[in-house]
Amino acid sequence: MSYTLRTQVDGEFDNIVEKTIDALEDEGFGVLCDIDVQETLKKKLDEDFRQYRILGACNPQLAHRGLENDLELGTLLPCNIVVYDDDGGVVVSAVDPQRLISVADDDELDPIGNDAYERFERILESL
C-alpha cells in the first residue's frame, strides 16, 4: 500500500520546484522549510546525490482544525512534498495525508485528511 501521491513531469528541476511551491500556495499551503538534500549530503558527508528537495508544507486552516481536535497532531506536521531528479523526468511526491492522519486513529480527523488529499491531488495534476 502506497503512502505517497506522485507524478513525474518533464522540465527543468528548479522550475518544477517553483511550480510546485506555486501550486501549494494556490491550494492554501505555505512552505515552512525547504531542505536541499543534495547540498546537505555533499556538505555533511562529502557524498554526491541527485537533485532532491524536501518541501515541508502546511495549510494553516487545516492544521488549526486538526490541532483543535488533537494537540498531538502537530507531530505529523508539516506534510512533506519531495521533488527529485529521476530517469526521464522530475518526480514530485507528496505524503498521502489520509494515510498520515490515520495514525491518530480518530474518525473526527478524517475530513481534514480527505480535504488535504484532494488538495494534493489537484497540486500534482496542475504540474
Whole-number CA gyration radius for the chain: 15
The per-residue pLDDT of the chain, averaged, comes to 96
Q: What digits encode the pLDDT tens for the residues 12-36? A: 999 999 999 999 999 999 999 999 9
Q: What's the CATH number where 22 sits?
A: 3.30.310.70
Across the beta sheet with 79-86, the strand order is 4-9, 89-95, 79-86, 52-58, 30-36
Contact at 8 Å (CB) between 92 and 99? no
Cα–Cα distance measured from residue 42 to residue 48, given in angstroms and rounded to the nearest whole number: 6
The total domain count for the chain is 1
Give phi and psi for 55, each to the nearest 5.
Answer: -105, 115
Cα–Cα distance measured from residue 38 to residue 47, given in angstroms and rounded to the nearest whole number: 8
Q: What digits encode the pLDDT tens for the residues 83-96? A: 999 988 999 999 99
- 3: pLDDT strictly greater than 80: yes
Query: Domain span at residue 56?
Result: 4-126
Q: What digits encode the pLDDT tens for the residues 39-78? A: 999 999 999 999 999 999 999 999 999 999 999 999 999 9
